[in-house]
Structure 1
Amino acid sequence: MLQGIRPSVHFRSQGYRMVKRKIYALILMFALAFAFFASAAETERPVIRVGFAQGLEMNIEQNTLNPTLHYLQQRLPQYDFVLEQISPVDTLEEIRKSKLNFFFAPSNFYVEIIHDIPLTHIVTRSTLEAENPARTLGSVFFTKADRDDIKDLADLKGKSCAASLPNSLGGWLAALGEIKRNGWNPDKFFSKVSFLQFQTPDVLNAVLVGAADVGVLSTCTLENAVRSGIISQDSIKVINQKNENANSLKCVRSTEALYPDLVFVAVKGTPETIIKNVAIALLAMPDFDHYRWSIEDNYYAVRSLLEDLQLGPYAYMRDNTVPALFKRFKTEILTALGLILFLVLNELRLHWLVNRKTRELHQALKDKIAADKTLQSERKKMALLERNGVISQMSSIIAHEAKQPLGTILNYLEILRMKQEVSPEKDPIVLSAINHVAQQVGRLNSLVESVRNFAKKKENPLIPSDLVEITEKAIRSFRRNEPEYDAVKVNFLNGAGKALVRSDPVSLELLIINLLRNGAHAALEAEKKQKPFIKITISRIESSRFELKIENSGNVMTDEQMARLISLGESVKAEGLGLGLSIIRSIADHHSADLSFRKRKGGGVAALLEIDQLEIET
């Protein structure tokens, strides 16, 4: 049985060894694959992309770019530095698309794009001919040595010029700054400007062959050309040459101002560790082709130059359209407009305040004048009242004292009349005269009694009477007792028939006589050459009222005269006391009548007395 089992055991042992060998082979294959990929991963280094714009300078790759990258590659072998050319036509867009880590740029270009693309300054190239890295680059005006007509900067005006590129700091912009500093317009200084690609040899050849009167080179370019044998020192001459001892730059120059040279910057997004390593390496880099890297970061002179020439970030200053000027001076314009608006509003406010104060002052003056007039009028009225009071007291005294003499006169007249009647030689004329005198004295006695009653504020009884008869009687008395007014024609028109009223006939007659006397006086005093007249009219104005109107000719009354006439007891006559007006007003009030005065068209006054009709009981 054992012999039968042995072959089976041997087979199993052999199969186990085969499987084991396969497992070892797989493990070895995985180990080799891992080692291969690890080695491949170890050899793959980060790529550092460094850009530069084409057309910067001739041989810049040989004297600056390649030496710099070669040194960085040696100092920082853990990175793979790659140099990439950027189109100078649309540099900003090219920088954004190419995803650069670092960038070589002229200092003026760096100042222009720093606001559009975030950059970090690393180092600035400085020539060994300069001690101050911020003052290493300027311009040189040169012409052929045999041009005797060109001696200084002023002689270059109107000449033709050759330069490298319009954005070259040392090859053109610094030269324009010098022209600007000397008071000329750099845009109109040269008659013709030819921009060539390179300063050496393009600009040099253009001047030497006569294609241009003057050429512009960067500082130290002329020395390099002479040193390399491209031109002879005796073939050209420098125009507007500055004193070499005035600054630390040992190269000839024609510009007073000097600027920083090429800069090396880091683009946003580059890791800080890489920037730090590159900066340390470049600062430790040895001199190369008469250059070195410096930490200089002062670009104020470049910004000032661009601002003076209105280029780069200051190019908007060349646009003098209204929108551009507004955008440029927006703050100043808005501030000025705000100030002007404030001044205008303040001026309007001041005018408004002054006008308001003026109106208030005028109104106050008007009110004061009106108050003064009112006070003066009230004082006049008080004076008139006082005067009328005095006159009233005097009238009362006179009437009281005249009462007894009038009674005595009547008594004597009665004795004379009785003696005349019993006398055998009775004379009818004397008797008639005695009767008339007695009648007039009786009338005078009635008037005195009315005056005494007026002074005592005692009212005479009102009796039924005819306004027409009273008016006619007053006219007759006026004609008989006022001969000085015979020239005044009196017309009476009765339009009411019989006008029965309740009145005191004597006082009402006195009122009418006073109005007639005043009207006749005014008619005679008229300036116009016309016949004086008085027109009396009685009419019915309502079913229960009569109107007595007495009109007279005369001068046209002023408003002031009418106001005095209408006021209490003030006469418009120079010699008038106003007592008559006061009396007739009192008489009108006693009869419950309305007395008013109106201007008459054509001159004169119309006095209107409105009195109630007598109501007859049936």
Structure 2
Amino acid sequence: MNTAFLKQKLLLLCFLFLASITQAKEEITIGLIDTFDPDFYLETFVPTVEHLQKELPNYKLKIIEISPKNIIEETEKLKPQFLIASAGDFSTLMSLKGAQQIATVKRPQAINAEKAVFAAFVVKNDRKDLQTLRDLENKTAAAATETDFEGWLVPLGEIADAGFNPEKFFKNVKFTEHQFPDVLTHLKVGNVDVGIFGPCQLERLAENGEINKSDFRVIGLKDPKELCARSTKMYPDVVFCSMDGAPSQAVKAITLSLLSFPPQQNNFEWIPASSFYQVFELLKSLKLGPYRHLRETTVKDFLAAHKLEIGLFFALVIAVLIHIVRVNMLVRLRTEELKASIAEQHLIESRALENRERLEMLEKSRVISQLSSMFAHEVKQPITNILYYTSGLKVLLEKLKIKDNQVEMVLDKLREQALRTADIVDHVRSYAKHRPSKEVEFDLIPTVLRALKSIKEQERKGVEVRTVFPSESISAKGDPFEIELVVLNLLKNALSAVKDVSSPEVTITITENEDKIRVHIADNGPALSDEQFEKLGKPIQSKKSDGLGIGLSIALSIIESHGGHLTFSRNQPNGLIVSFSVEYAANKENHNG
């Protein structure tokens, strides 16, 4: 069957499948750069699309095909939000169009996401004249397509690394559209000297009984101990990436869906690749993608090509000088463009690093939630036993008619702390199980003071902590324990910020507006840089030795669940003010009345 027809048929089936289950939903456009063989569509593309549609029922997926020969022009014209592309095409788009990796395919035979695909130069075993890569020079070859990453560009990179000109290495190349069976057929009947096979293709053919492996040999074998023979370096596999301007919520949804893709059911998985350095080096050696400008003629080449004419015609010296000036201007212009490109690449790498850190923090939050649930479950019973023992001890003392005020006070304090601990455990279990917070009417001022009292004296030592309250009692609505937790977290952050200043001060202020109660915690700590101020409230790697980096983000989540907002502003002359709002227990008039 014609390859193009098969791919169009598969794309049409995907489109009909998606159209049959989507109605008036937000549309996500996924572009597919057509450089893959039919096996990819059946084994990788279709399972991925089906998984995305299953995991993202609120989105309508639209699949469009991108020509591999004009990917820059096609992406500008069709404007896909996401792309499925080879590592080579992705690296080009990352450098020139700001594409960002979401995940990369990893199959079981791959070492990792960065070392997944490669190629093998395969010859018939009876060709004793072909032993090394040099022996293949000026020979004929068969390959899939000239845009195939592992089937053509990767082998060319290996030829370039060996010191040969990859564009003139083979005498003739037959492009067959797909590797199997055409490349194998040309090699078997002797139409070509060498066939270029993709990752583990030779081994799969032998396993399926299509060939006798002893009839063929791999040139330039890298490591005989590896399961699949290869002649080249290893590179990342297929990449799912987002384009510049893709909706952030859609990027998040796609990312979470791909990372949850079940590998055990599909014989592959989607995971982030940490580096595409080898791919950029490959494109540079082949002068492709972001390095296509290296193919331009230099001044040295021009002078070498025209030195005879220059010697014979002295009158052309002026023209040559003008040409040199012009070339120098072009070189300067190109240098500026390269600087801009490098700066953009650094920005993209920085964003990629930020995304990786964000994913690490999401994973950390998930682990913390699981550990919290386990801890809450295990500690609940001992706390209950403590309560039973204190109650039993009080009953025993009454029966024995022993009256000791100090013992009774200790038992009351012990019971009070055990009940508080049990309350904390219940909240931990609620967080772990994502239960909604309880809403009760409570007095905000004692709650704030209780948080202040919970801080160790050592942490407050030397710090002047002031409170400014409009009245002795303010009735608020929400979960007092969670509000106390937020205030405690913000106070600890403020105390930590001022520990190295000469006259440390922390001020807790409560103000009453028409519709909200505002709590402000201000410190006079060191001034924050713009970068530090921008990251406030986002999950980051904590700089504290005992910190997890998610305290402020948890506080933000709690306040937003109470219908409020956590805001940050700079204190004058230096320091930080963190504010949040909570709702009145009733409307303002009832509160004042």
Give the shorter-chain TM-score range: 0.3 to 0.5
Larger radius of gyration between Structure 1 and Structure 2: 1
TM-score normalised by structure 1 residue count: 0.44
TM-score normalised by structure 2 residue count: 0.46
